[in-house]
Amino acid sequence: MKLITAIIKPFKLDDVREALSDVGIQGMTVTETRGFGRQKGHTELYRGAEYVVDFLPKLKLEVAVADADVERTMETIVEVARSGRIGDGKIFVTQLERVVRIRTGEENETAL
């Protein structure tokens, strides 16, 4: 089992959620977050004054999947979240050692 963590632009959330649902991926956790990568923020003009926005608004999606679903999940996120412009985000994949569904006590892949 793997945990896929994707950092995406906020306006892509609905499209990514629908696309993952369409390929059979159920459940995700979404967290509003802020950060920057290579673009290192940007400058904005507000009431005639210029100021630097160091941390841009992003969303962090976390999806736990079986090993067999990792590539399909990643490909779907990349395909839907990509705009071709800087700041589209990143995907991280980490190993999950154990998962327990609290309600039923099911473990590992049956708990997903």
> Phi then psi for 68, rounded to 5 degrees?
-70, -20
* pLDDT for residue 111: 87
| 2-8 β-sheet, strand order | 29-35, 56-65, 2-8, 90-95
pLDDT digits (tens, 9 = 90+) for 94-112: 999 999 999 999 999 888 8
Output b/e per residue, 63-99; b: 16+ Cβ within 10 A.
bbbeeebbeebbebbeebbeeeeebebebeeeeeeee
Whole-angstrom distance, CA of residue 38 vs CA of residue 14: 25
* pLDDT for residue 46: 63
- When pLDDT is averaged across residues 5-25 and rounded to a whole number, the result is 95
pLDDT digits (tens, 9 = 90+) for 29-74: 999 998 877 766 566 566 777 666 677 889 999 999 999 999 999 9
DSSP state of 108: G
**Domains contained in the chain, CATH given:** 2-111 (3.30.70.120)
* pLDDT for residue 41: 59
* pLDDT for residue 37: 77
Q: Which residue has the tokens 């159920």?
A: 26
Whole-angstrom distance, CA of residue 52 vs CA of residue 41: 7
Prediction pTM value: 0.83
